[in-house]
A and B are shown apart, each in its own frame.
Chain A
């Protein structure tokens, strides 16, 4: 009996301690949030630092860190940006968890990330419910900002959207390469891949082209010989592969092994140094991608960025994800400046009003769906190096 009583007292003490601990942490949390007075504004980064598309997340992080260093030299009206990073492991459910941690635990004013459409969609609802804006540097799916015809007020992006990228690829194929018979190979587990393919086929058919073969695979597949053999049998003039580098690298390699030597086109999902390692330099010749940016662009703003980036990262040449990560921070910083505070809702209003902001990846204006209107570049792989081919402006 006595023993039980002691245990009861002990347990109630534990409970009280738990409640008190809860109190103290929540009060300190709100203090930080209303802060910004303290001189810092917290910015979250929810990125793919490991897993299948780790290369995107790592590149964006480098760009984000460079931009934050530059901005913190002067500060935004005397305030500095503080970066809190979480790794979503290229996994949608981890991305949801990561966003939840950034919003509820770290009380960030805005989130940068995730890199892919699927991982970004996974955080969209949480950001919306908690009224915290997020900017995806490279989530190109149109569903990120507008889902079922309804705009998510807190969703923003720095890159152009899938329909535009698919259209540019089809335009380039018909006008510059003068080829009309296309085979399409889609990653059926990815919203990004399906989005690009849909607009590509749409434009191609309207302009006298023809899709002779359509095959599919799912992410993490390693053997594409069967699909490619089927594609080969239909004699296409070129192949459109809107996928991510991990599978695309293998597809390109296996296609060349099977003697499919036609041009191949892809989107920004190809943009990774790993692609060259997977496919091999020779196999990648005669392939083209649509992208946001090229380090070979002669624009002075681009060249200034390339110089600053090389200085910070031991002479490494920045890729499009570096540029988009960098631009996302400037996009956000511009909005924070106009909002005049670190309040997430004021930042949201300011982001939506962005018009004519000059960034490395082009002059940016947001349309009513929070989608940027800006230019795209076409790059060609030559001996494993990306060569700037041409720039395509929106209509």
Chain B
């Protein structure tokens, strides 16, 4: 029993990181119908920006988190303006290939600038571990969960209660109609990229804090898993990405708990295949009205 709860806690910590990354995938897909494969690398860049602001500018964890989110937001907008905007009316496969190109460019550009060696993340906040009924919940898992929940609530607020959120929902519904209604489509798409990338940046910093090691290729696997999570929940649907991320984390944790730790990554992709076969629209697939 203890072991079961412990494994669920492990899974939720992992899952909330997937969820944060998956949100960016799903928002971008919802609005421009593009699988932004460079998203996992924005996550990596966020982790490094967090690292540099902590170890070279001696900032605390929260200022580092905010700087990283802001920098990633700008970075995400730049990627969109430079690489994706010229292709907005091109075929979807062209945009997809460009996304893969951008992803490789960011990965190997980072290796060129700082080398491929992994970096140990500084331990900034000595958090106390929580012990309930023999289950150990590390302070960091609580922090991950808290930061994720706050950011997700904030995102829901932006999407449903603000003007830009309304514009995003409108553009995702029908881009041409939105344009006719006087919505600035370019700015709305930029804002979507900015918000999604900021979430990835935040995920990068908390990933660094939790797992203490970062490297230029760290974004590939979490990026792919987050993509699975987004599809699992129904791509384009915000609550779907959150649930999909958490679910995938818990599934992976249970696979390891059953003694098949080496199959963990494989199972994530088996889940993807099953979802595509059984419920191509994802778990929240029917809920089309909520997409952004």
Q: Which residues of A contact B261 (CB under 8 A)?
A: 215-217, 226-227
Q: Which residues of B contact A274 (CB under 8 A)?
A: 118, 120
B239-268: which have CB < 8 Å to A?
252-253, 255-257, 259, 261-262, 264
Asked whether, in the complex, the Cβ of A246 is within 8 Å of the Cβ of B118, the reply is yes
Write the chain A residue with the least CB distance to B118. Answer: A246
Write the chain B residue with the least CB distance to A51. Answer: B116
Q: Which residues of B contact A229 (CB under 8 A)?
A: 3, 6-7, 10, 257
Write the chain A residue with the least CB distance to B215. Answer: A52
Asked whether, in the complex, the Cβ of B136 is within 8 Å of the Cβ of A258, the reply is yes
Asked whether, in the complex, the Cβ of B211 is within 8 Å of the Cβ of A54, the reply is no
Asked whether, in the complex, the Cβ of A226 is within 8 Å of the Cβ of B123, the reply is no
Asked whether A181 is an interface residue with its Cβ less than 8 Å from the other chain, the reply is no
Write the chain A residue with the least CB distance to B261. Answer: A227
Asked whether, in the complex, the Cβ of A230 is within 8 Å of the Cβ of B136, the reply is no
Report B136 CB to chain A, min CB distance, Å: 5
A72-99: which have CB < 8 Å to B?
89
Asked whether, in the complex, the Cβ of A222 is within 8 Å of the Cβ of B253, the reply is no
Contact stretch, chosen from A5-13, A204-212, A249-257, A312-320: A249-257
Asked whether B115 is an interface residue with its Cβ less than 8 Å from the other chain, the reply is yes
Q: Which residues of B contact A249 (CB under 8 A)?
A: 120, 212-213
Asked whether, in the complex, the Cβ of A259 is within 8 Å of the Cβ of B136, the reply is yes
Q: Which residues of A contact B211 (CB under 8 A)?
A: 222-223, 250
Asked whether, in the complex, the Cβ of B212 is within 8 Å of the Cβ of A226, the reply is no
Q: Which residues of B contact A253 (CB under 8 A)?
A: 212
Report the Cα distance A229→B11, complex, angstroms. Answer: 12
Asked whether B98 is an interface residue with its Cβ less than 8 Å from the other chain, the reply is no
Asked whether A50 is an interface residue with its Cβ less than 8 Å from the other chain, the reply is yes
Asked whether, in the complex, the Cβ of A54 is within 8 Å of the Cβ of B253, the reply is no
B-contact bits for A55-78, CB 8 A (1 contact / 0 none): 100000000000000000000000
Report B130 CB to chain A, min CB distance, Å: 11
Asked whether, in the complex, the Cβ of A226 is within 8 Å of the Cβ of B10, the reply is yes
B-contact bits for A255-281, CB 8 A (1 contact / 0 none): 001110000000000000010011010
Asked whether, in the complex, the Cβ of A230 is within 8 Å of the Cβ of B3, the reply is yes
Asked whether, in the complex, the Cβ of A54 is within 8 Å of the Cβ of B116, the reply is yes
Report the Cα distance A386→B103, complex, angstroms. Answer: 41
Asked whether A307 is an interface residue with its Cβ less than 8 Å from the other chain, the reply is no
Report the Cα distance A246→B119, complex, angstroms. Answer: 10
Q: Which residues of B contact A257 (CB under 8 A)?
A: 129, 136, 138, 140
A198-249: which have CB < 8 Å to B?
215-218, 220, 222-223, 225-227, 229-230, 232-233, 246, 249
Q: Which residues of B contact A277 (CB under 8 A)?
A: 120, 212
Asked whether, in the complex, the Cβ of B120 is within 8 Å of the Cβ of A226, the reply is no
Residue among A230, A233, A280 with the highest chain B CB neighbour number at 10 A: A230
Asked whether, in the complex, the Cβ of B7 is within 8 Å of the Cβ of A226, the reply is yes
Given known A-B contacts A226-B256, A226-B261, A89 and B116 have beta carbons under 8 A apart: yes
Report B178 CB to chain A, min CB distance, Å: 41
Report the Cα distance A249→B131, complex, angstroms. Answer: 23
Asked whether, in the complex, the Cβ of B136 is within 8 Å of the Cβ of A223, the reply is no
Contact of A50 among B117, B136, B140 (CB under 8 A): B117
Asked whether B69 is an interface residue with its Cβ less than 8 Å from the other chain, the reply is no
Asked whether, in the complex, the Cβ of A52 is within 8 Å of the Cβ of B253, the reply is no
Asked whether A130 is an interface residue with its Cβ less than 8 Å from the other chain, the reply is no
Report A70 CB to chain B, min CB distance, Å: 28
Report the Cα distance A220→B214, complex, angstroms. Answer: 10
Asked whether, in the complex, the Cβ of B213 is within 8 Å of the Cβ of A225, the reply is no
Q: Which residues of B contact A390 (CB under 8 A)?
A: none
Q: Which residues of B contact A188 (CB under 8 A)?
A: 262
Asked whether, in the complex, the Cβ of A250 is within 8 Å of the Cβ of B212, the reply is yes
Q: Which residues of A contact B129 (CB under 8 A)?
A: 257
Report the Cα distance A257→B3, complex, angstroms. Answer: 15
Q: Which residues of B contact A217 (CB under 8 A)?
A: 261-262
Asked whether B14 is an interface residue with its Cβ less than 8 Å from the other chain, the reply is yes
Given known A-B contacts A222-B213, A253-B212, A230 and B259 have beta carbons under 8 A apart: yes
Q: Which residues of A contact B259 (CB under 8 A)?
A: 215, 230
Report B208 CB to chain A, min CB distance, Å: 10
B6-23: which have CB < 8 Å to A?
6-7, 10-11, 13-14
Asked whether, in the complex, the Cβ of A258 is within 8 Å of the Cβ of B212, the reply is no
A-contact bits for B111-130, CB 8 A (1 contact / 0 none): 00001111010010000010
User: What 10 pairs across the A-B complex have the smallest Cβ distances?
Assistant: A226-B256, A277-B120, A225-B10, A54-B117, A222-B211, A257-B138, A50-B116, A229-B6, A233-B3, A259-B136
**Listed A/B pairs (26) with beta-carbon separation below 8 Å:** A50-B115, A51-B117, A52-B118, A55-B117, A217-B262, A222-B213, A222-B218, A223-B14, A225-B6, A225-B13, A225-B14, A226-B257, A226-B264, A229-B6, A229-B7, A230-B3, A230-B257, A230-B259, A232-B3, A233-B3, A246-B213, A249-B120, A250-B212, A258-B6, A259-B136, A274-B118
Q: Told that A218-B262, A258-B138 touch, could you supply 11 new A-B pairs with CB distance under 8 A?
A: A51-B117, A54-B117, A188-B262, A215-B261, A225-B14, A227-B256, A233-B2, A253-B212, A258-B136, A278-B120, A280-B123
